[in-house]
Structure 1
Amino acid sequence: MEFVINYSLFLAKAVTIVAAILFVVVGIIAASSRAKKEQDGQIEVTLINDNYNDHEQALKAVVLDDEALKKEAKSLKKKQKEDKKKQSKAEQEQKKRIYVLSFDGDIKASAVESLREEISAVLTMATSDDEVVLRLESPGGMVHTYGLAASQLTRITKQGIPLTIIVDAVAASGGYMMACIGTKILAAPFAIIGSIGVVAQLPNFHRLLKKNDVDFEMFTAGEHKRTVTMFAENTEKGKAKFVEDLEDTHELFKSFVTEHRPQVDIAQVATGEIWYGKRALEHKLIDDIQTSDEYLMSRRDDSHIYAVSFETKKTLQEKLGLAVSYATDGVVDKLIQRFGGNQRF
């Protein structure tokens, strides 16, 4: 009997502890959800010049001896005094401002939600004397979402503000649609540029369903409401219409590039091919070979360089989901490295 009583007390304590933990977890989740509703995110601004200066001083502190450091500090102080004499305070503050944005595109161009907030923030301050630099990375994706992303960039050029697009790795298809908005396009020597093409693909299970005596019925109003599907039998007429739609989208894409990069021979480049940086320069798809780091470092002395980003607050559920995603991506990457057939350089 004593054992039963002790066990019951132990069980009650365990249930109480578990209930308390669940209560705390639910409270955190609810609070996170409320915080997200109250404020989706905020603009964060960092002066990149300070980062460069900090890196320089950290390196000098290790590389130079004490005597060299003192000499360096004395020389720097003298230079600052000379510069101050040459320029008034107003002139010093009137240095060109460069606003640096980043776009890391996926197939849905999801980053456009942050990009639109960043551009809205920059446009409250930027003038035609300033410059916006976009570090662009994208393999392309959906037509309508990348069309929206490109439209967001035109907000900058319509204000007469110079827009420099820099591609360090890839700006393909929809990515290049965004890039061609730039007043100037720079790319790393082996960055992938293009293609100016359109692709669509889908499997068809009609024969499999037919083999297993499964009927698939589709009812539509409008001759071309559905042209090709995954389960019904696709007709030659439907396929022809689908290809026609792709060609029309391709023509729109070519017209868009021609409008913003008239120097490009569109008939020569709109073949669906991709070009590495140096070849893209030959075809005038870009204006120069330069990485984003090289470009920004070259401007650190004559400009105030600001990194602008829109940071969203993640809920507990999103953080847990992100951790699982990272773990899964690691496994997938290893499988691709072992068994994938993609070219590697």
Structure 2
Amino acid sequence: MKQFFKFVFATVVGIIIASIIPIIVIIGIISVASSDKAVEVDANSILHIKIAYPVNERTPNNPFAGLSFLGLDGEKAIGLNDILASIKKAKKDDNIKGIFLDESYMMSGQATTEEIRNGLIDFKKSGKFVVAYSEIYTQGFYYLASVADKVYINPKGIFEFRGFASEITFLKGALDKLGIEAQIIKVGTYKSAVEPYFLTKMSDANRLQVTSYLGSMYDHFLTGISKNRNINKDSLFNLANNGTIQEPEDALKYKLVDGLKYKDEILADLKTRTGITEKKDLHSVELADYMKSDAKKDNEEAGTTKNRIAVVYASGEINGGDGDDNSIGSEAISKAIRKVRLDDKVKAVVLRVNSPGGSSLASDVIWREVMLTKKVKPVIVSMGDVAASGGYYIACAADSIYAEPNTITGSIGIFAVLPNLQKLFNDKLGITFDGVKTGKFADLGDVSRPLTPEERAILQKSVNHGYDAFTKAVADGRGKTQAYINSIGQGRVWTGSQALKIGLVDKLGNINDAVKSAAKKANLKEYKLVTYPEQKSILNKFGEGLSTEVKAHFVKAELGENYRYYEQIKGVTQMMRTPQARMPYDVVIK
């Protein structure tokens, strides 16, 4: 019931906020006066990294970044691309002596955290230091911080170390009270996206798959900490399983951290490390500012070669239309892939997929462009946090696929949901319907009545056809038989590590590994990276309806972590339009 109230709260607040946003759009745009001037980095500086915002694939072209008004926090959100680029640049920057990881909440997926973590490990190869500090260590931030040379916590702080948990919200009880029946048509034993609408708890098959992939992710989590903190993995498991870590002193006792310190002590330590006297200010540069430092020099170092490798970002749910920075529109992504295919300067393509899927039709449209592109130039896929269902569909035609060990992938299956609102209309609202039709199936899909057996058979045939096309595309792309793909399909979700073993991915690695692979396959020694789809300017967005993006910005700011409930409710209406190739649900690990 608590989850139901969260849904209601998120929806009501979202509607209220969205209704007032148009009034302040102009005020907000006028108020944005952030400077894009390059920042000079002083000698003996530290790069200050504080990630307290959701990390998207690319830094958004957001007019409200850096803006604070009406009580909303306008902290600039940095994309994964610029976080990784900044860490890489800092490794070679003589003015940067080390990195300070500070109070980060890591509101990002497991694979995104993994890529940043690997970037820090590479940074340390320069001999420079990484120091981590927080008053509150979530498990996500601790996993990131565990690579640091020194990990400190506030003496009165909070240290979370208790294992992973995944929770699903079931809506059947609420739907029953409202008189709504979710009519389910699906293919795949494990395709459990529809379970919340007709069950009150997880099916046995779903419990099996969640236990499997959650266990795989947790094993990778413990292995990484074990390696960097030099603590036996079994010991780490027991510490979490027994609830041993209750206070910061416990974390210190079992060597999860190196010391209990207040912020002033950390700053004093950083001054000592960088050779700054006690009475002088620490030389520090924020991540958002460091992105803009020596921009001209960075461009010059890119060289003059005409060869290009195109990175096409496909992030978010898949639907028809143009989409935006946080969703995949089949029209926009197809156009981008088609453009790089026809561009002779582009010698290879990296398709960056971070998507739980969505419309099966839109996924197929994108898959077609990937397949055509592979015939004329190399296509390498790099998977982010999630590349499942439709997200895997658009990836499967590539020459090779890279995933992180904790990427969520697979979920090869199709489903459709059609609501029957007859009891809601008749019994709850007293509304009835009547009409005429010229054909037996003219009103197929009418939500005011239940499906007839013949109508259900028609829809099931359509879903079966979609699943057959899906498994055939995967079989052709992966060089497997369709029967084998069906055996590992059925909607089942896998981690990247598991997917490697069963042949759904080729290698474990990050986006940089995928770029290197693309360069090697295209026989390129020098190249420039170009990114698609092009991120639109403020004026473009305003002319096309900036208010939608602005509304999302303010709703997110107000709802925080509850924003996902608001998004789930919006997603229900989309799932009832066309057959879906999408994840069983949004994976939330606690």
TM-score normalised according to structure 1 size: 0.66
Per-residue CA deviations over 1:155-194 (Å, capped at 9, x if unaligned) read 31122x1100110211111111110010111111111112
Q: Could you tell me which amino acid in structure 1 is paired with residue 357 of structure 2?
A: G
Q: Distance in 1 between matches of 2:502 and 2:512?
A: 24
Are 1:230 and 2:447 counterparts?
yes
CA distance 1:331–1:204, shift in 2 (3 Å): farther
2:340 to 114, 122, 127: 122
Are 1:307 and 2:530 counterparts?
yes
Deviates more, 1:215-224 or 1:144-153: 215-224
Q: Distance in 2 between matches of 1:337 and 1:144?
A: 25
Deviation of the 1:229 alpha carbon: 3.1
Q: Distance in 2 between matches of 1:228 and 1:112?
A: 24
Deviates more, 1:93-102 or 1:164-173: 93-102
2:307–2:345 Cα contact (<8 Å) kept: no
Over the matched positions of the two proteins, sequence identity in percent amounts to 22
> Which residue pairs with 1:136 in the alignment?
353
1:103 to 297, 314, 318: 314
Deviates more, 1:132-141 or 1:239-248: 239-248
1:186–1:287 Cα contact (<8 Å) kept: yes
Are 1:200 and 2:416 counterparts?
yes
CA distance 1:54–1:173, shift in 2 (3 Å): closer
Greater helix percent: which structure?
Answer: 1
> Which residue pairs with 1:344 in the alignment?
589
Deviation of the 1:205 alpha carbon: 1.4
Deviates more, 1:181-190 or 1:308-317: 308-317
Per-residue CA deviations over 1:61-117 (Å, capped at 9, x if unaligned) read 2339xxxxxxxxxxxxxxxxxxxxxxxxxxx97796422221113241533333334
Secondary structure of 2:527's aligned partner: strand
1:180 to 396, 399, 402: 396
Deviation of the 1:281 alpha carbon: 0.8
Deviates more, 1:54-63 or 1:189-198: 54-63
TM-score normalised according to structure 2 size: 0.41
How many equivalent pairs are there?
Answer: 270
Deviation of the 1:196 alpha carbon: 0.8
CA distance 1:195–1:219, shift in 2 (3 Å): farther
> Which residue pairs with 2:556 in the alignment?
329
CA distance 1:53–1:98, shift in 2 (3 Å): farther
Deviation of the 1:216 alpha carbon: 1.8
Q: Distance in 2 between matches of 1:125 and 1:338?
A: 41
Secondary structure of 1:217's aligned partner: coil
Q: Distance in 1 between matches of 2:465 and 2:564?
A: 37
CA distance 1:317–1:136, shift in 2 (3 Å): closer
Deviation of the 1:275 alpha carbon: 0.5
Deviation of the 1:316 alpha carbon: 5.5
CA distance 1:148–1:213, shift in 2 (3 Å): same
Deviation of the 1:338 alpha carbon: 9.7
> Which residue pairs with 1:189 in the alignment?
405
Per-residue CA deviations over 1:285-315 (Å, capped at 9, x if unaligned) read 1101111134447869934131222233212
Q: Distance in 1 between matches of 2:472 and 2:565?
A: 41
> Which residue pairs with 2:491 in the alignment?
272
2:354–2:391 Cα contact (<8 Å) kept: yes
> Which residue pairs with 2:276 in the alignment?
none
2:319–2:330 Cα contact (<8 Å) kept: no
Secondary structure of 1:202's aligned partner: strand
CA distance 1:220–1:145, shift in 2 (3 Å): farther
Task: Pick the structure with greater CA Rg.
Answer: 1
Q: Distance in 2 between matches of 1:256 and 1:221?
A: 38
Q: Distance in 2 between matches of 1:329 and 1:260?
A: 38
Deviation of the 1:266 alpha carbon: 1.2
Show structure 2 runs of 5+ residues with no match. 1-25, 30-81, 99-302, 324-328, 569-585
Deviation of the 1:337 alpha carbon: 7.5
Q: Distance in 1 between matches of 2:565 and 2:531?
A: 38
Q: Could you tell me which amino acid in structure 2 is paired with residue 179 of structure 1?
A: A
Secondary structure of 1:189's aligned partner: coil
Q: Distance in 1 between matches of 2:513 and 2:308?
A: 17
CA distance 1:271–1:122, shift in 2 (3 Å): same
RMSD: 3.6
CA distance 1:209–1:115, shift in 2 (3 Å): closer
Are 1:60 and 2:70 counterparts?
no
Secondary structure of 1:203's aligned partner: strand
1:198–1:250 Cα contact (<8 Å) kept: yes
CA distance 1:169–1:115, shift in 2 (3 Å): same
Secondary structure of 2:419's aligned partner: coil
